[in-house]
Amino acid sequence: SQQGEEDPQALSIQEGENATMNCSYKTSINNLQWYRQNSGRGLVHLILIRSNEREKHSGRLRVTLDTSKKSSSLLITASRAADTASYFCATGPGGSYIPTFGRGTSLIVHP
């Protein structure tokens, strides 16, 4: 069973628009990670946010974490066609547990 679940399952936008996807999880976490997967490739790590952090930026990516709501969001600003991919969150309750991945959000950015 997945600890984290992404929402929406699919998102279709025009180039230049912002894309927001969310991740909800069930138990307390040590950190939360976001990954991207291009078609036919392995996952690539984007951002790691720790449980004591509320917001983190990396280029056009902005991640927020609300531990009281057990949720995180990934915002991609000024989307490009090259951002077309699936995005996954990975959460782990820390301790001896291995982080688990959600089912992902499929993002399509139309040129």
Partner 1 sequence: NAGVTQTPKFRVLKTGQSMTLLCAQDMNHEYMYWYRQDPGMGLRLIHYSVGEGTTAKGEVPDGYNVSRLKKQNFLLGLESAAPSQTSVYFCASSSSRNQPQHFGDGTRLSIL
Burial of 10 (0-12, 13-18, 19+ CB in 10 A): exposed
Contact residues for partner 1 (CB under 8 A)? 1-2, 30-31, 33, 35, 40-45, 48, 88, 90, 92, 94, 96-104
**In terms of CB distance, is 34 or 79 closer to partner 1?**
34
Q: How near is the Cβ of 36 to partner 1 at its closest, in Å? A: 11
Residue 103 and residue 10 in contact, taking contact as beta carbons nearer than 8 Å: no
**In terms of CB distance, is 2 or 64 closer to partner 1?**
2
Q: How near is the Cβ of 24 to partner 1 at its closest, in Å? A: 14
Phi-psi region of 46 (alpha: psi -120 to 50; beta: other; left: phi over 0): alpha
